[in-house]
Amino acid sequence: MSKSLLEQIAKLKEELNAIILAHNYQRAEVQDIADYTGDSLELSRKAAGTDAEVIVFCGVHFMAETAKILSPQKTVLLPDEEAGCPMADMITADQLEQEKAKYPGVQVVCYVNSSAAVKAGSDICCTSANAVQVVEAMDRDRPILFVPDQYLGHYAMRKTGREMHLWPGYCPTHMKIGVDDVNRQRARYPGAKVLVHPECRPDVIDAADEALSTGGIIRYAQSYQGSTLIVGTETGILHRLRQENPAVKYVPVTERGVCPNMKCITLEKVLWSMQEMEPNIEIPEEVRQRALAAVERMLEL
């Protein structure tokens, strides 16, 4: 890695009064230059609380949009505009409106892994960490539509006992994780705990010891007393786990759990983005306001 590349990024960051955010699934070297690493909403909230004028979001498109929703006065850069989220792309604002029309009085719970336009058409947002709590808080006399992730919705449905209509979206990366993978790693590392993300299929969640958000996995690992931890989510998280509690051996449930979209951003693209001040994320104000309302309802819980 070129020292001058890192120096140029650091210098530009200071000149622009910029903050660099990296999602837990980003490349190791991108995580290493970030001011903050974490979950998408956690990162956006941290950036909103700083005096930085420019947010460089190393993640995928919906994450940069969330940062813009919370910080409309700041410039938000996504170093690779092709870094999208297949799950977020599985529902459009028009499709959401058509689905809502099927269920009179419906309440829409929208996973933050969605576009600003879909958030704007929803009643409340949720994260993988608080989906159960959000669903539990919904009006019991009205139907619930959960978008776009059917597996996180199914997980929340089982945990709360609430019936919901589930949009058939899913994360292709978490779909690569199977029960056979869990069983194979358990046999290889007897006594190791298995943590998986609630975006995994129900049979995978049942085969694991815990289903936790990326933030939940990181917190669990910080106080883990065992020698080996088996982790079922995008493999980028292993870099941070190894940094924060290096005494533990971290093993992916499967090496196939790689999101190509999360690996789009490189250090060269971060530098280019700051030099050119693009791709610059913009959201129509009316859409932003409605999306913000859905996020704020969640934060009030």
Taking only the tens place, the pLDDT of each residue in 155-169 is: 999 999 999 999 999
- Max distance between CA atoms of the chain, in angstroms, equals 60
In the predicted structure, residue 1 carries a pLDDT above the cut 60: no
Query: Which pTM does this prediction carry?
Result: 0.95
Give residue 84's pLDDT.
97
For residue 40, name the pLDDT band (cuts at 50, 70, 90).
confident
What mean pLDDT is predicted for residues 291-300? 96
Give residue 227's pLDDT.
96
Cβ atoms 78, 57 nearer than 8 A: yes
For residue 3, name the pLDDT band (cuts at 50, 70, 90).
confident
In the predicted structure, residue 26 carries a pLDDT above the cut 70: yes
In the predicted structure, residue 7 carries a pLDDT above the cut 80: yes
Average pLDDT in the chain: 97
Taking only the tens place, the pLDDT of each residue in 91-138 is: 999 999 999 999 999 999 999 999 999 999 999 999 999 999 999 999
Domains, the chain: 3-84+262-282 (3.40.50.10800), 88-170 (3.40.50.10800), 177-256 (3.40.50.10800)
